[in-house]
Amino acid sequence: MIEGKKILAIVPARGGSKRLPNKNILDFGGKPLIAWSIEAGLGSQYIDRLILSSESEEICDIAKKYGAEIPFLRPHELARDESQSIDFVLHALENLEQSYDYVIVLQPTSPLRESSDIDRGIEMCFERDAVSVIGVCETEHSPLWSNTLDETLSMEHFLDNRYNNARSQDLPTFYRINGAFYMSRVDAIVKNKTFFVQKDIYAHIMSQANSVDIDTKLDFIIAKAVLDAKREKRI
């Protein structure tokens, strides 16, 4: 709780994953991937309750061992590839007996996010009187050096002429949504059905090392390398 407001954290974990099968329960640094987000959330000084949203009994059993509450199973129709990410949030809010002022989503694919990252995001939300706060980090590569390609593979007009010979350090700084932290007022989520409201939404800037997002096998390998470097205090 912060300033008398109650905060609910949801860790979402579908059983199905095509690009990296069983990713949410893969061993990552000695414990299941999902355990990292659960423990980070439980380590927050402000979160009042942390629950898991999943249709998988196997994932639920593992999550319980690390302290997550499982008040219900997510319906299978809300755990399909085409299901919108906001659906599980609305389902949780509708099916919990208690009411909350704010809701936070902690995706298990961001295992390097720390409790301090969560608390800074929450503090920022109250300092700015924000409706929503979203985790971001600097992009690894400037999108100004990116574009689409058609079937001809022609690179005519691929780059804006202003950036043809620019050095990377001279390009504007861009940020990307890192998937590690989503926070919003509950009334705004219910009304707008999105974290991305039009007003009073702010970015919570996190480090690239804490923002690694795992969707593929390569992401998983990179995340493990970053974890090893952090444990050895090399980054």
Which whole-number Å values give the CA distances from 204 to 49, 73, 122, 152, in the listed order?
21, 31, 9, 40
The CATH number of the domain holding residue 120 is 3.90.550.10
pLDDT tens-digit map of 58-84: 999 999 999 999 999 998 887 777 678
Best CA proximity match to 180, nearest among 120, 96, 94, 101 = 120
**Residue 91 burial (C-beta neighbours within 10 Å; 0-12, 13-18, 19+):** middle
The model's pTM is 0.94
Domain span at 189: 7-137+176-231
Place of tokens 């022609």: 154
Please identify every stretch of the chain with a pLDDT value under 70, giving residue numbers as ranges.
82
Tokens at 110, concatenated? 């961001």
In a domain, residue 78? The reply is yes
In a domain, residue 35? The reply is yes
Q: What sign for the dihedral angle of Cα 143, 144, 146, 147?
A: positive
pLDDT tens-digit map of 109-131: 999 999 999 999 999 999 999 99
In a domain, residue 213? The reply is yes
In a domain, residue 142? The reply is no
